[in-house]
């Protein structure tokens, strides 16, 4: 599951858990982005990576990969999948996205090659229509997951306005945000 994870929240974790269960996955690898081309991310990748490690630590099926954080330059999923294939040549890869992300997928780099590297699973998300219209049906599955209207944007905004994010993100992530003074002034 790729994401900016700025910060990781319970919407991400529930989506990953539901896909793991429904597709009988051995492992869910969370892959925090380095610098995505489509977002102006100001929080250093190392903070986003560590929050993802903290959030996933209690689930033995969840792991976190540094492939995107450690690669120089802009993050593209085509590179993420190539790197994961090199690391795990025997693995059958699934890439988990939300309804909003999959709706943009035709604009992603080397999209035609993406389908040969992984099966894509798009999960429902409040406020977004889940659709595979225009996408190769054999390569993309849809999954309805419990609706959690949580976004990282809203979490950042709440922290910057002095509102709590308890129960929107895991407790350890709240503590990390507080300790490192994240999101105090940016929404
Ligand atoms: N509440 C949610 N329910 C289902 N999927 C989600 C949810 N939040 C995020 N996702 C999906 O998780 C992946 C990573 O999301 P991302 O890290 O960009 O979080 P975000 O909440 O969308 O962030 P931002 O608000 O900064 O855009 C994306 O594919 C996104 O669609
Ligand atoms: O490869 C691309 O061109 C591309 C464009 C937009 C998003 N992605 C990936 O989609 C995942 C979710 O992105 P985001 O912005 O919702 O965090 C993340 O792993 C991004 O690297 C990838």
Ligand 1 touching residue 77 (CB < 6 A): no
pLDDT band at 36 (very low <50, low <70, confident <90, very high): confident
Span 83-105, pLDDT tens digits: 999 999 999 999 999 999 999 99
Query: Alpha carbon of 115 to those of 85, 98, 118, 136, 138: distances in Å?
Result: 13, 17, 6, 8, 9
User: Structural domain boundaries of the chain?
Assistant: 2-148
Expressed in angstroms and rounded, the spacing between residue 152 Cα and the centre of ligand 1 is: 7
Distance of alpha carbon 117 from alpha carbon 94, whole angstroms: 9
Residue 128: predicted pLDDT: 96
Atom number of ligand 2 nearest to Cα 104? 6
CA nearest neighbour of 124 among 109, 107, 103, 139: 103
Ligand 1 touching residue 153 (CB < 6 A): yes
Task: Supply the mean pLDDT for the chain.
Answer: 96
Expressed in angstroms and rounded, the spacing between residue 98 Cα and the centre of ligand 1 is: 6
CATH class of 2-148: alpha beta
Ligand with minimal distance to 99 CA: 1
Q: Which tokens in the block code for residue 159? A: 């922290």
pTM of the predicted protein model? 0.97
| Residue whose structure tokens are 């609706």 | 147
Pocket of ligand 2 (CB under 6 A): 2-4, 33, 36, 38-39, 75-78, 101, 108-109
Q: Which tokens in the block code for residue 142? A: 């849809």
């Amino acid at each position: 599951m790729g994401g900016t994870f700025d910060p990781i929240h319970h919407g991400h974790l529930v989506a990953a858990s539901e896909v793991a269960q429904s597709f009988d996955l051995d492992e869910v690898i969370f892959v925090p982005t380095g610098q995505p081309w489509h977002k102006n991310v100001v929080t250093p990748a190392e903070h986003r990576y560590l929050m993802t490690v903290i959030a996933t630590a209690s689930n033995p099926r969840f792991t976190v990969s540094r492939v995107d954080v450690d690669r120089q330059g802009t993050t593209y999923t085509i590179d993420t999948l190539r790197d994961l294939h090199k690391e795990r040549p025997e693995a059958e890869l699934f890439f988990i996205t939300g309804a909003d992300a999959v709706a943009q997928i035709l604009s992603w780099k080397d999209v035609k090659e993406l389908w040969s590297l992984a099966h894509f699973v798009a999960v429902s998300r409040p406020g977004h229509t889940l659709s595979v219209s225009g996408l190769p049906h054999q390569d993309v599955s849809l999954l309805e997951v419990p609706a959690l209207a949580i976004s990282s944007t809203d979490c950042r905004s709440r922290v910057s306005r002095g509102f709590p994010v308890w129960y929107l993100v895991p407790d350890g992530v709240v503590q990390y945000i507080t300790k490192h003074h994240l999101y105090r002034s940016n929404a």
